[in-house]
């Protein structure tokens, strides 16, 4: 969306005209209004590309105007203009959905920079352009059709440029990790590493050493020095998935890194400084965890600087069919077959299901259907709804439990805290266990297989499949 028509809202006539003139001098078509309520009426009727609004106005303040416009016209960018800049009002404005802030007196140059930034974000989120830029495996495609997910991507693109910690909330399988990756790829850190840690997968001790590393001999089994994920993510982004699961001790250590960018390895006394942007994700209501005393309030506020919510799939039904087509193409190409067409009844059935397991469940359903489908059509009989449920007990590829040699998993599970198992997807647990063990053995598959109590062939097969599915590097 290019920017042509701008609405200026300011109750002070002088500053309104000043701002209007600055925008006109840059070649935009400008309308100016002194009343925010009148502005809401005009916005409902006219196609503006951008709104510049004053912060303090008697009828309705700028932040409230931003909120109402976001409801009325999601996607219409707003910039708050204020003479009273404070960190708090900037955070409030961003949380309300403003795209940017400008300090008075506004110069045409300053205004031009902000408008160009917004235009660049618009271009990025433009669906076609985005899809084209996301073709390779390293940049997995995000399918986005519904206004709600497009709005989420816009917020993500906007906050990608800041340094603040991001908290992504949303039900399991909605695509939080994808959004985190999107933020990284669109941030100035995009050439740095993107590292993910699943906090629910590891016991307290393992998680602490996974995040911060450990020195040789710091606990039984620590045979060599181990660099933590914070060190690996230096210069890049660290995704802390399922942050709601971390213990009080790890919460305290994490708070310190977020505040001071430094920590010590487990069993070490050297202070290590890092430059890492933290993105946390949770499918719990963290505010409730704080209220119940399970999550530190100070850490919550540190993480909550830039919140993003990913809606469940049932609340953005426009995404169902585009996602289904995308997965059908993806899995067919992976197995070297022609991508099947989705029949009319299959499309209807997909739209009728309420997707409690969200995008991950849809991905599972289509993956199975592509295997089962005969001919070049995918019909409703090929779709097995509910087979992927309970979602909390199944991973994206459903390996655990489908296997004939079930006893092999007993050793895998024993390295995890049983308290978190109920909440974890088994396939994710299995994958994390294998990766952690391979890491411990320096990549030695035979030794890792021995420790996990499986054959080296089983381990190799699983790794091969995950690699094909893009689940491991």
The three-state secondary structure class of 160 is helix
Minimum distance from residue 283 beta carbon to ligand ATP (Å): 5
257-260: long-range pairs with CB below 8 Å, 24+: 257/212, 257/230, 258/165, 258/299, 258/302, 258/303, 259/302
Minimum distance from residue 310 beta carbon to ligand ATP (Å): 6
d(CA 98, CA 78): 5
Q: What angle do CA 379, 381, 383 make, to 5 degrees?
A: 85
Of the two residues 63 and 362, which places its CB atom closer to ligand ATP in the complex? 362
The three-state secondary structure class of 401 is coil
Of the two residues 363 and 432, which places its CB atom closer to ligand ATP in the complex? 363
Of the two residues 22 and 281, which places its CB atom closer to ligand ATP in the complex? 281
CB 373 within 8 A of CB 340: yes
Minimum distance from residue 323 beta carbon to ligand ATP (Å): 6
Q: Which residues contact 124 (CB under 8 A, 6 or more apart)?
A: 130, 157, 186
Of the two residues 236 and 312, which places its CB atom closer to ligand ATP in the complex? 312
Tokens of 312: 């469940």
Of the two residues 89 and 151, which places its CB atom closer to ligand ATP in the complex? 151
Minimum distance from residue 453 beta carbon to ligand ATP (Å): 26
Question: Cα separations (Å) of 349 from 128, 153, 175, 362, 407?
Answer: 27, 27, 22, 12, 37
- The residue whose Cβ lies closest to ligand ATP is 175
CB 237 within 8 A of CB 195: yes
d(CA 83, CA 104): 5
Minimum distance from residue 49 beta carbon to ligand ATP (Å): 26
Minimum distance from residue 244 beta carbon to ligand ATP (Å): 11
Of the two residues 65 and 359, which places its CB atom closer to ligand ATP in the complex? 359
Tokens of 413: 């599970």
Minimum distance from residue 98 beta carbon to ligand ATP (Å): 25
Question: Cα separations (Å) of 292 from 199, 212, 297, 421?
Answer: 20, 27, 10, 21
Of the two residues 62 and 312, which places its CB atom closer to ligand ATP in the complex? 312
Strand partners, 327: none
Minimum distance from residue 471 beta carbon to ligand ATP (Å): 8
CA 130 vs. chain centroid, Å, equals 16
Binding site for ligand ATP (CB under 6 A): 140-144, 170, 172-178, 241, 281, 283, 323, 359-360, 363, 396
Of the two residues 33 and 313, which places its CB atom closer to ligand ATP in the complex? 313
């Amino acid at each position: 969306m290019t920017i042509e028509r701008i609405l200026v809202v300011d109750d002070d006539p002088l500053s309104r005209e000043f701002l209007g003139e600055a925008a006109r001098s840059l070649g935009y078509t400008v309308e100016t209004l002194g009343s925010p309520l009148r502005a809401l009426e005009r916005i409902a009727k006219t196609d503006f590309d951008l709104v510049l609004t004053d912060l303090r106005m008697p009828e309705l303040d700028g932040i409230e105007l931003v909120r109402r416009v976001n409801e009325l016209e999601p996607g219409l960018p707003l910039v708050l203009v204020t003479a009273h800049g404070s960190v708090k009002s900037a955070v409030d404005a961003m949380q309300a959905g403003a795209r940017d802030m400008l300090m008075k007196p506004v110069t045409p140059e300053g205004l031009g920079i902000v408008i160009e930034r917004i235009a660049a974000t618009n271009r990025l989120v433009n669906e076609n352009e985005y899809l084209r830029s996301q073709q390779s495996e390293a940049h997995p495609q995000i399918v986005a059709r519904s206004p709600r997910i497009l709005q989420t991507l816009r917020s993500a693109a906007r906050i990608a440029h800041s340094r603040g910690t991001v908290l992504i909330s949303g039900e399991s399988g909605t695509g939080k990790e994808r959004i985190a990756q999107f933020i990284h790829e669109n941030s100035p850190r995009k050439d740095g590493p993107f590292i993910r840690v699943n906090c629910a997968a590891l016991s307290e001790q393992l998680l602490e050493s996974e995040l911060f590393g450990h020195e040789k001999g710091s606990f039984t089994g620590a045979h060599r020095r181990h660099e933590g994920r914070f060190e690996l993510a230096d210069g890049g982004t660290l995704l802390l998935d399922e942050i709601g699961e971390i213990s009080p001790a790890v919460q305290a250590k994490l708070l310190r890194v977020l505040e001071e960018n430094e920590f010590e390895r487990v069993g070490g006394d050297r202070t290590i400084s890092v430059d890492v942007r933290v993105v946390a994700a949770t499918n719990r209501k963290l505010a409730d965890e704080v209220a119940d005393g399970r999550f530190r309030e100070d850490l919550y506020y540190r993480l909550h600087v830039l919140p993003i919510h990913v809606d469940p799939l049932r609340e953005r039904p426009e995404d169902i069919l585009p996602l289904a087509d995308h997965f059908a193409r993806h899995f067919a190409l992976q197995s070297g077959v022609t991508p099947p067409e989705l029949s009319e009844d299959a499309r209807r059935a997909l739209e009728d299901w309420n997707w409690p397991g969200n995008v991950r469940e849809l991905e599972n359903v289509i993956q199975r259907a592509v295997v089962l489908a005969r001919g070049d059509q995918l019909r409703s009989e090929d779709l097995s709804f509910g087979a992927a449920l309970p979602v909390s007990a199944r991973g994206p590829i459903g390996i655990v439990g489908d296997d004939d040699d079930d006893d092999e998993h007993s050793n895998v599970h024993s390295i995890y805290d049983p308290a978190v198992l109920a909440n974890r997807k088994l396939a994710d647990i299995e994958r994390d266990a294998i990766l952690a063990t391979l890491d411990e053995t320096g990549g030695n598959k035979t030794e890792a297989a021995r420790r996990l109590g499986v054959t080296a062939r089983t381990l190799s097969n699983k790794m091969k499949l995950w690699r094909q599915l893009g689940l491991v590097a």
